Amino acid sequence: MVADTLAGINGELTRYAGMIAQSENKELKNTLKQMRNACEQSQEELYQIAREKSYYVPAAKATDAEVAHVRDLFKQSSL
């Protein structure tokens, strides 16, 4: 349930990013940024609580080799 809630919040953050990028109205853009920031804060708080109670266990950290591989992929695709 916690993972689903975090996934839902992440979806909201994605939608906010899209709306912010597409808005030409500065006041609306600032309001959306404030809403996004509040959403990010909620996500972080829920994440911390879930980690503390072991309701959510994040994926293992990437190895240095995995990070280097992904970095190389991005370098190649930007050429």
39: pLDDT strictly greater than 60? yes
Percent of the chain with pLDDT over 70: 97
Helix (H, G, I), strand (E, B) or coil at 36: helix
Token duo for residue 54: 């072991």
Question: Does the pLDDT of residue 62 top 60, yes or no?
Answer: yes
Show the tokens assigned to 13: 């953050």
pLDDT confidence tier of residue 56, bands split at 50, 70 and 90: confident
Q: Is the pLDDT of residue 27 over 60?
A: yes
Model pLDDT, residue 10: 92
pTM for the complete prediction?
A: 0.69
Question: Would you state the structure tokens that stand for residue 27, as one six-digit string?
Answer: 């006041």
